[in-house]
Amino acid sequence: MFIREAERVGPILTAEDRDELRSKAVQVLAREEAVVAGNRLLSRERVGGVEPDWVPFLAPEDGVALVEADGSRRRPLKGMAAHEPLLPEGATLAVVMGGVRALGQPVNEEHVHRPGVFSELTGVGPDHTIDAEAFARALLAGLRNVPDGARRAALLADVDPGWTMTGASAVARTLWQGGVRKVILSSLPKETPGQVWTL
């Protein structure tokens, strides 16, 4: 996670020891509403993640632990490998995300992180156009490893009234057919604060 994004959530805490990180989190959560926990600062720009099996131990007993389980290197879509995302034990809600700015664009490095994997998942070859069905199939691949009983949802970003709303609605229909019952459309990150629509 980028430090500039993490700082909007709360204080950034790091430790390479699980017990030390939990101790820091408990102390800070006594006076703050939220913290960002990582194992170390990877650079001046990013916070390193913790092992998935740390999450249940770090999660506050009476709160919510939000985990960024996988990244797309700032691309609107990603080709998800079979082992991704790495979800912590006890996850109760998994949300896949995609930016609708990729709709109508070619499958390439500019629009898709790991375009080769994306092509294998969707059947849409390199430099061919990303349509709503391929977009939805890529997101559904991100839900393959969700534990039984956990809820599944999707967040579609970069939406505004007009063409992108129409495209996002087409993606939502395919997601519903794939078993995703909650789809949120948002104008983020284009607008801050963003508009939100629920389907």
N-to-C CA span, the chain: 28
C-beta pairs of 32-37 under 8 Å, 24+ apart in sequence: 34/9, 34/10, 35/9, 35/10, 35/11, 36/1, 36/6, 36/7, 36/9, 36/10, 36/11, 36/12, 37/13
Question: Residue ranges of the domains in the chain?
Answer: 1-67, 69-199
**pLDDT score for 148:** 87
pTM > 0.75: yes or no: yes
DSSP letters for 23-70: HHHHHHHTT-S--EEES-B-SSSBBPPPPGGGHHHHS-TTS-------
Is 113's pLDDT higher than 80? yes
**pLDDT of 191 above 80:** no
Read off the pLDDT band of 62 (50, 70, 90).
confident
Q: Would you say residue 192 has pLDDT above 80?
A: no
Nearest to 136 by CA among 146, 124, 125: 124
Tokens 């691949």 belong to 141
- Statement: residue 93 has pLDDT above 90: yes
Among the residue ranges 67-71, 74-78, 138-142, the one predicted with the least confidence is 67-71
d(Cα 77, Cα 57) in Å, to the nearest integer?
31
Q: Is the pLDDT of residue 73 over 90?
A: no
* Predicted local confidence at residue 70, as pLDDT: 72
Whether 96 has a pLDDT exceeding 80, the answer reads yes
